[in-house]
Amino acid sequence: MSADDIEPGDAIHRGHPVIVDRYTKGARINHWITAASLVLLALSGLALFHPKLFFLTGLFGGGQTTRMIHPWIGVVLFFSFFGLFLRFWKANLWKREDGTWLARIRDVLTGHEERLPELGKYNAGQKFVFWSMSALILVLITSGVVIWDQYFYEFTTIEQKRVAVLVHAIAAVLAISVWIIHVYAAIWVRGTIRAMTRGSVTGGWAWRHHRKWLRELAAKLPNGRSKTTHAK
């Protein structure tokens, strides 16, 4: 069995219940820095986006500081997400079973995951969040640099800056939407949040949602024998 979905630190611990390590401390710190910077970026960006939301500048010490700080938080998000990208890209590669999972999303939403193919570490929804965030953050940093007049004013024309402002705003709205989907899904699939807080999930969670990943991990247990039947 190929084990390309296993990430460093993933491991099964026998017991009642079985516990499965899913994220290292480093990955979790990396994730929460990314999450915090996206929230701060959204708040400071929305403050600059529309006069009705200008009051949000109060959170950052006024209009001038908001304008100064927003692009720097963007730089933090870019590098922080790049860290996540390096950690997670491989397990997010598209697999044949992802197409089937997506085509039968109704079974997922009605609680019949057992009718679907076994999945690796991530499902198609998580992969969608991963790749769309990767693309959107790239668009945001590129268009952001074009309109970061304090340092890069002379490198582009006014017309290019106009296009960049529009592209930046559209990408931001899409990124906020993807973020809402991500958080909703993390809460909706019970037992998922602890993956990013404690770093582990129960064997039952892994068996139900990511059985192929669990089997790959079980195959690595000492004695070589699969113990996944204990994971319910």
DSSP-H helix ranges across 116-197: 124-146, 149-152, 158-188, 193-197
Least distance from C-beta 174 to ligand HEM, angstroms? 12
3, 11, 33, 35: which one contacts ligand HEM (CB under 6 A)?
35
Q: Hey, which residues does 20 pair with through a beta bridge?
A: 12, 201
Beta carbon of residue 155, minimum distance to ligand HEM (angstroms, whole number): 27
The catalytically annotated residue of 70, 168, 182, 210 is 182
Q: Compute φ and ψ for 19, nearest 5 degrees.
A: -115, 140
Stretch that binds ligand HEM, among 27-35, 51-59, 158-166, 221-229 (CB under 6 A): 27-35
Instruction: Return the residue of 78, 130, 148, 207 that touches ligand HEM, per CB under 6 A.
Output: 130
Confirm or reject binding of residue 44 to ligand HEM (CB under 6 A).
Answer: no
**From candidates 182, 208, 211, 215, binder to ligand HEM by CB under 6 A:** 182
206 binding ligand HEM? (CB under 6 A): no
Q: Is 182 a catalytic residue?
A: yes
- Binding of ligand HEM by 195 (CB under 6 A): yes
Strand partners, 79: none
Pairing of strands 11-13, 19-21: antiparallel
Binding interface with ligand HEM (CB under 6 A): 22, 31, 34-35, 38-39, 81, 84, 88, 92, 122, 126-127, 129-130, 133, 179, 182-183, 186, 192-193, 195-196
Q: Which positions are annotated as active-site residues?
A: 182
